[in-house]
Amino acid sequence: MIELYDHAQTDAALDVAVSHALLNRSADTGLGSLRLWRPLRQALSVGRLDARHPRLPEALALAHAAGATPVRRLAGGHAATLDSGSLCLGWAQPHPRLEESSARYELIAGAIVEALRALGVESTLGESAGEWCPGAWSVQGPSGKLAGLAQRVVSGGAWCEALIVIDAAPELRDLARQVHQVLGLEWSDSAQGELAELLPGAPDLPAALVDELTEALTRRLGPVQRCPLPHDLYDDAVALAREHRF
């Protein structure tokens, strides 16, 4: 039985730190877990490559001006914006092997593709020119990128995560465009997708996606049990949050 947490925090840095705490627990205790949640605040998630970019201060200023909190991402990848119109998925895997990197991507990406198909949306994997946070493990819908994946491996544990765009806020899409331009990353409006545009009028689309993803993950990882976040894990996240603030 693998535990699944839907806990989210209004403090964007603390929200990232919850995932960090799950990764650390996996490495320390050998306990795997899943996290499936909707961010509560608008944020600009910055990966390690962009965190060293000479024009990073300009990107952070753009985020603040747009009312989005810039945070240091736990996993890799380039800049991405997120809010409650997004659904985030994370998997903490204990005892990872280096050669399993692609297998982790395949498992999480496969679950997303299967869940989208169950909702009536066909998708493929691969990078599209000008997409947000470009990468080979992007999930592409009929009208643009719907999800991006990234991971991080530490001694004893691995974290693979995905950001799925359900309903893209125009102001966040504008912020993402500006940040990509500042960081020298290609951007094309036509490469950006959102699930709500493909399923107009679908009732409670976020909940439906959560249900389908949970089913798809169960088929890949075994039985899933929804659990409240343990108090000690929350305390660990509080201590880690400073690592994800700018």
pLDDT score at 193: 97
The structure's pTM equals: 0.96
Positive or negative, the CA dihedral 111, 82, 18, 230 is negative
The single residue listed with the structure tokens 């205790």 is: 29
Residue partners of 72: CB distance under 8 A and separation at least 6: 13, 16, 46, 48, 51, 243, 244, 245, 246
**pLDDT, tens digit only, all 246 positions of the chain:** 999 999 999 999 999 999 999 999 999 999 999 999 999 999 999 999 899 999 999 999 999 999 999 999 999 999 999 999 999 999 999 999 877 889 999 999 999 999 999 999 999 999 999 999 999 999 999 999 999 999 999 999 999 999 999 999 999 999 999 999 999 999 999 999 999 999 999 999 999 999 999 999 999 999 999 999 999 999 999 999 999 999
35, 88 Cβ separation under 8 angstroms: yes
| C-alpha to C-alpha distance for 120 and 55, rounded to whole angstroms | 41
CA dist 146 and 115 (Å) reads 12
Q: Is 95 left (phi over 0), alpha (psi -120 to 50) or beta?
A: left
Q: How far apart are CA 168 and CA 197, in angstroms?
A: 9
φ/ψ (deg, to 5) at 7: -65, 135
Tell me the CA distances in angstroms from 190 to 81, 142, 171, one per residue in order: 17, 11, 16
**Alpha carbon distance 24, 145 (integer Å):** 30
Instruction: Say what the pLDDT of residue 101 is.
Output: 87
Q: Residue 24's pLDDT is what?
A: 98
Cα angle vertex 221, ends 217, 226, to 5°?
65
In this structure, what CATH number is given to the domain that contains residue 81? 3.30.930.10
Q: Which domain holds residue 230?
A: 2-244
User: Which pLDDT value is given to residue 244?
Assistant: 98
Cβ atoms of 175 and 66 closer than 8 Å: yes
Q: Which residues of 175-189 are buried (b: 16+ CB within 10 A; e: fewer)?
A: bbbbbbebbebebee
Number of domains in the chain: 1
Residues 48, 64: Cα–Cα separation, whole Å: 19
**Shortest CA distance to 49 belongs to which of 143, 141, 150, 138?**
150
